Structure 1
């Protein structure tokens, strides 16, 4: 297993480098350093001298990918790509282009509100979805199952934006049970987290319940389930003691792979509810054309996704002893 993990880690380096290059190229195809400077300065009549000063202060006065005027290794090192990418693999994200804040410090501060929303949504959603899926399998081939499938299709056909706006209007404005948006630290954050967590769980019920139901239906037709019934076990005990246990491998795959990405937050959810997490942090950086933050967040998201895939492979060996990594 150690050799497998080392090999996967080595494979990740060219992948992350490719993601970094693609991010760099796509960003500067849309915006030149001059466009970024004019937007950041925010003045109606920006002088060329002001633009050049802004670029020089942030290192955007260098060539993008290749310095034809330099010699030797300086052709690459004296470029914007090298200067902005050299510290990424050491997690040295530098400072933002807009307000000159330390990006690493911002990430450490903003990841906690993102986790406060994402972690309860994942846990509550997992319990709710598995419970509903087991109930549908328990009453399979009945009107209850057919109605549940229709309801799941309806729920998954509605955009998540509808749930967010509808939840804010109904629960936040009409019923006034919780605030519509905002965030506070400590235990005061609870009242601001209830609505986003509920909406996050409810909006994912349709797709997840259908998926878990499919997994459980595949298991209930296998020989070991028939053997369990023949021994006199009730249908409920068979589902919870055997079917659920043997269906944990694909369920665990879906859970483990998203665990590292919980730090990244939800772009739409955090923006609508004004939660100062990493999702809204990324959206604000895109709107303000802050390449330093966008590059850091894309790279961090790629690293976390690679870690999630590796943890998924390792978790297979923990759930199923027959699985061997080689």
Structure 2
């Protein structure tokens, strides 16, 4: 297995290089620049503008700028300095990603614990009222735009009922300790975590249902039932294990999507995470921070795919990693 992992990591290198080229080209095709934004907000002389352009490398040919950027990454793991924060991009992302993890990790756990069992239930009761109700709920969750669902929950639970906080991750101007501090954080997380998880729950539930239906209609499942095995053993020991491979693939892709999906969610709920700061970077044309965030998501996606491939061999012994 270790040889397989090392080989896959080495195969990622040219993929990451290709991704970095595409990211660099696309980001530098975005109209406007950080300096142009600064010109609108202050009165600078042409000499000052020229100095800033030289300082930030705006006038460098695009291939020169790319090689400077990739050289810093390879030699020093340096993605450059954020224009807005005037600090290394790695420091900015590392600081704000901690907040995003507080949203993404609970949402990811909720998705697995809710969507997979409901998908199994829907498949085992195909065409029943339970299946129809779950199908309708799944499509509602998939169809709701994130921003609309977020604003709707804020209107109901924060404004009308007043049972949950409106925004942020803590109550401003109040210092709690112990359990009160824990509850304060949890209460602020409830609404954004629900918004992050609802859309994915519907998708994973439908995917689980489809995968289970393909398995439970096969001959070996009918044979297991004919041997007198209980329905629970047939479904959870024989059918589920073989249906998990496509589900594991989807779950591997869901985690990176939580960070990209958090861009809207964090903006709606005023949570200063990596999604919020990346949106701010786009608005301010903070090129190093924009590229750093894109590379973070790309590498996370590749690593999650690798983990999913490794899990295949644990889920299904027939899959061998070579």
- In the superposition, the TM-score normalised over structure 2's length comes to 0.87
Show the 5 A alignment for 1:76-225: 79-89=64-74, 90-184=76-170, 187=182, 188-225=184-221
Q: Over aligned residue pairs, what C-alpha RMSD do you find?
A: 2.4
Stretches of structure 2 that go unaligned for 5 or more consecutive residues are 172-180
If asked which structure has higher relative contact order (CA below 8 Å, sep 6+), I would say: 2
2:46 to 33, 48, 68: 48
**Secondary structure in 2 matching 1:247:** helix
Residues in 2 aligned to 1:237 and 1:317: alpha-carbon distance in whole angstroms: 21
Relative to structure 1, the CA distance from residue 316 to residue 161 in structure 2 (aligned partners, 3 Å threshold; closer, same or farther) is: same
Between stretches 268-277 and 229-238, larger displacement belongs to 229-238
Report if aligned partners of 2:266, 2:273 keep a CA contact under 8 Å in 1.
Answer: yes
Between stretches 284-293 and 227-236, larger displacement belongs to 227-236
Report if aligned partners of 1:182, 1:275 keep a CA contact under 8 Å in 2.
Answer: yes
- In the superposition, the TM-score normalised over structure 1's length comes to 0.86
Q: How far apart are residue 292 of structure 1 and its match?
A: 0.9
Stretches of structure 1 that go unaligned for 5 or more consecutive residues are 66-78
Residues in 2 aligned to 1:325 and 1:236: alpha-carbon distance in whole angstroms: 30
Report if aligned partners of 2:119, 2:206 keep a CA contact under 8 Å in 1.
Answer: yes
Between stretches 122-131 and 94-103, larger displacement belongs to 94-103
1:28-67 deviation line (CA, Å, top 9, x unaligned): 22336xx4312134435432112111122223343332xx
Q: Runs (4+) of structure 1 moved beyond 6 Å?
A: none
Relative to structure 1, the CA distance from residue 99 to residue 152 in structure 2 (aligned partners, 3 Å threshold; closer, same or farther) is: closer
Report if aligned partners of 1:114, 1:264 keep a CA contact under 8 Å in 2.
Answer: no
Q: How far apart are residue 277 of structure 1 and its match?
A: 1.1
Residues in 2 aligned to 1:21 and 1:201: alpha-carbon distance in whole angstroms: 32
1:37 to 35, 38, 47: 35
Q: How far apart are residue 195 of structure 1 and its match?
A: 0.9
Q: Which residue matches 1:72? A: none
Residues in 2 aligned to 1:43 and 1:163: alpha-carbon distance in whole angstroms: 35
Aligned residue pairs total 311
Q: Which residue matches 1:297? A: 293
